[in-house]
C-alpha cells in the first residue's frame, strides 16, 4: 500500500496536534497533563518494559527502577488519601472498575448503581463490565423527582433494604453534585460502598469536592487523567486492610492486566507532586470556573441543568439541555465546526442515546490552558447562535 507510509502517519499525527491544539476542548473526561509532567517522565525506557506482579516481587528481571518508583507512587497516594491500599496498576478507570467488580465477594450477586441516563458510567450498567463480564445483577438508584440529576436518598435507602446488594457503586460520568455517601453509610454500617471517582478525582485530590473515605466509602476507583491532570490510567484506593483486598488485587493481576504500562507510573507520581507543589489551587479554579460558567449560561437564557437552589454544579461539569436547539448530537457537531469540542449526553428523561437531550461541558482542560469562565462563555455563546 504505497499511500500508507511513515510520512502519512507523521502527517496525520501533526494535523491532529495542530487541530486539537487550536480547538477549545470541553470534553469532561479528558485533560492534558500538568506542564511539569514533561516527556522525560512519560516517554522513556519504561514504555518498552514488562514488570508483572508487585514491586520487588516481579516475574521479570530488569525491574529495579520501576520497583522503586512504583512503590514510591503507591506510598504517595496512600499517604495523601490516608488509606491502606493504593494500587496504580489499572491501565484505565474501566480496568480499575473491572478489578473491583469482579474481585469483591459474590453473595446474592446483586449490586446497585446509578443508571446511564442519570449519569452512571457504562461499566456500572448491565451492557457493560459489571453484568457482561462480572455477572452481577444491576439495580439502579432512583432519582430525585425535583432534581433528577441527584439521587432520591430515601428511595435509595429503601432499595438497599429491599435488594440487600453485595455492594453499591456511587459516582458517575455526568456528575454535578456530591453523592450521598454519608447518608447511606449512616443507615448501613456494614454495606460495601464503592465510589467511582473517575471524573472528580482531581477535585477530591485538591480538597474541592466531597471526601469519600471520610464520609464512609470503602473503595475508590478512578482514572488519573480527567480532573487529575496525569497520564491516562487508573487507580484503586482501599481505605482499610479488609478481607476483600486480596480478591480485588488478584482480580487485577493475574486476572486482568499482565503488563501495566510502566511509563505511566513516573508520570503519575510527577503529576501528584506537581499538584501538591505547583498547582495547589487547580481544583478550586476548576470548580469556580464551572460554577461561574453555569451562571453566565443560565443568565443568557440557556437551559442549564442540575440547579439545587444554590448552584448548578459542584464539579468541573456544566450540563445543558439543548432539546430546543435540535438535540445533543446536532449541537455537539455544530460546536465542533466552530472549534469547540464537547460531547452529546443523555439526560435523565432520555430513552435514546443517538440524539440525546443534552451536551456535557467540562472546564478542567480549559482552566489548565489559562481560560476563564467569561472567555469560555463568549466562545460558546457565539458558536451556539
* Cβ-based neighbours of 2, under 8 Å, separated by 6 or more: none
172/285 with CB nearer ligand DSN? 172
Dihedral of alpha carbons 134, 136, 138, 141, sign: negative
Half-sphere exposure of 223 (CA within 13 A, CB side): 25
Nearest Cα neighbor of 96 from 206, 260, 231, 262 is 260
* CB 9, min distance to ligand DSN, A: 26
Q: Which of residues 238-277 bind ligand DSN (CB under 6 A)?
A: none
| Cα gap 157→28, rounded to integer Å | 30
CA angle 354/358/361 to nearest 5° reads 120
* Helical (H) or strand (E) element with 6: helix 6-22
Question: Which residue in the shown chain puts its C-beta closest to ligand DSN?
Answer: 29
**Tell me, what DSSP letter sits at residue 173?**
S
Q: Which of residues 168-207 bind ligand DSN (CB under 6 A)?
A: 173
- Contact map string, positions 136 to 175, toward ligand DSN, x by CB under 6 A: -------------------------------------x--
**Tell me, what DSSP letter sits at residue 310?**
S
* CB 94, min distance to ligand DSN, A: 6
- Contact map string, positions 78 to 97, toward ligand DSN, x by CB under 6 A: --------------------
Q: Is 25 in the site for ligand DSN (CB under 6 A)?
A: no
| Cα gap 19→72, rounded to integer Å | 37
* CB 173, min distance to ligand DSN, A: 3
270/366 with CB nearer ligand DSN? 366
* CB 132, min distance to ligand DSN, A: 16
63/313 with CB nearer ligand DSN? 313
The DSSP bridge partners found for residue 169 are 194
* CB 226, min distance to ligand DSN, A: 8
* CB 51, min distance to ligand DSN, A: 26
Rounded to 5 degrees, φ, ψ at 179 are -85, 155
28/269 with CB nearer ligand DSN? 28
Residues in the chain: 385
Q: How many residues bind to ligand DSN according to rule CB under 6 A? A: 2
124/150 with CB nearer ligand DSN? 124
* CB 251, min distance to ligand DSN, A: 19
87/317 with CB nearer ligand DSN? 317
336-357-178-98 Cα dihedral, nearest 10 degrees: -80
Candidate list 29, 221, 232, 289; residue touching ligand DSN; CB under 6 A: 29
31/192 with CB nearer ligand DSN? 31
* CB 120, min distance to ligand DSN, A: 10
Residue 327's region, left for phi above 0, alpha for psi from -120 to 50, else beta, is: left
| Cα gap 84→86, rounded to integer Å | 7
User: Which residue is it, cell 490510567?
Assistant: 233
DSSP codes of every residue in 280-299: TTHHHHHHHHHHHHHHHHHH
* CB 61, min distance to ligand DSN, A: 35
By CB under 6 A, name the binding residues for ligand DSN: 29, 173
Amino acid at each position: 500500500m504505497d499511500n500508507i507510509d511513515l510520512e502519512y502517519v507523521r502527517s496525520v499525527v501533526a494535523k491532529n496536534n495542530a487541530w486539537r491544539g487550536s480547538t477549545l476542548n470541553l470534553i469532561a473526561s479528558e485533560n492534558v497533563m500538568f506542564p511539569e509532567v514533561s516527556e522525560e517522565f512519560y516517554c522513556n525506557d519504561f514504555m518498552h518494559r514488562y514488570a508483572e506482579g508487585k514491586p520487588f516481587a516481579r516475574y521479570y528481571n530488569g525491574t529495579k527502577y520501576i520497583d522503586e518508583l512504583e512503590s514510591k507512587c503507591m506510598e504517595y497516594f496512600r499517604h495523601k488519601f490516608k488509606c491502606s491500599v493504593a494500587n496504580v496498576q489499572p491501565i484505565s478507570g474501566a480496568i480499575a472498575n473491572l478489578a473491583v467488580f469482579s474481585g469483591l465477594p459474590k453473595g446474592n450477586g446483586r449490586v446497585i448503581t446509578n443508571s446511564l441516563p442519570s449519569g452512571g458510567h457504562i461499566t456500572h450498567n448491565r451492557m457493560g463490565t459489571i453484568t457482561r463480564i462480572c455477572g452481577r445483577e444491576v439495580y439502579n438508584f432512583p432519582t430525585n423527582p425535583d432534581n433528577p440529576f441527584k439521587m432520591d436518598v430515601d428511595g435509595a435507602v429503601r432499595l438497599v433494604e429491599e435488594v440487600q446488594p453485595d455492594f453499591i457503586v456511587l459516582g458517575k460520568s455526568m456528575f454535578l453534585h456530591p453523592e450521598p455517601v454519608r447518608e447511606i453509610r449512616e443507615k448501613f454500617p456494614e454495606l460495601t460502598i464503592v465510589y467511582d471517582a473517575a471524573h472528580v478525582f482531581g477535585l477530591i485530590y485538591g480538597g474541592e469536592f466531597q471526601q469519600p473515605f471520610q464520609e464512609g466509602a470503602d473503595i475508590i476507583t478512578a482514572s488519573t487523567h480527567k480532573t487529575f491532570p496525569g497520564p491516562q490510567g487508573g487507580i484503586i484506593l482501599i481505605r482499610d486492610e479488609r478481607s476483600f483486598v486480596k480478591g480485588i488485587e488478584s482480580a487485577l493481576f493475574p486476572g486482568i492486566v499482565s503488563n501495566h504500562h510502566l511509563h505511566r507510573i513516573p508520570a503519575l507520581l510527577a503529576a501528584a507532586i506537581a499538584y501538591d507543589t505547583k498547582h495547589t489551587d487547580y481544583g478550586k479554579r476548576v470548580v469556580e470556573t464551572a460554577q461561574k460558567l453555569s451562571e453566565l449560561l443560565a443568565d443568557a437564557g440557556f437551559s442549564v441543568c442540575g440547579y439545587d437552589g444554590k448552584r448548578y454544579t459542584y464539579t468541573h461539569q456544566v450540563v445543558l439541555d439543548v432539546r430546543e436547539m435540535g438535540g445533543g448530537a446536532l449541537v455537539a457537531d455544530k460546536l465542533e465546526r466552530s472549534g469547540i469540542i464537547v460531547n452529546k449526553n443523555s439526560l435523565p428523561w432520555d430513552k435514546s442515546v443517538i440524539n440525546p437531550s443534552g451536551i456535557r461541558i467540562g472546564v478542567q482542560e480549559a482552566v489548565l490552558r489559562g481560560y476563564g469562565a467569561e472567555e469560555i462563555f463568549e466562545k460558546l455563546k457565539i458558536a451556539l447562535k
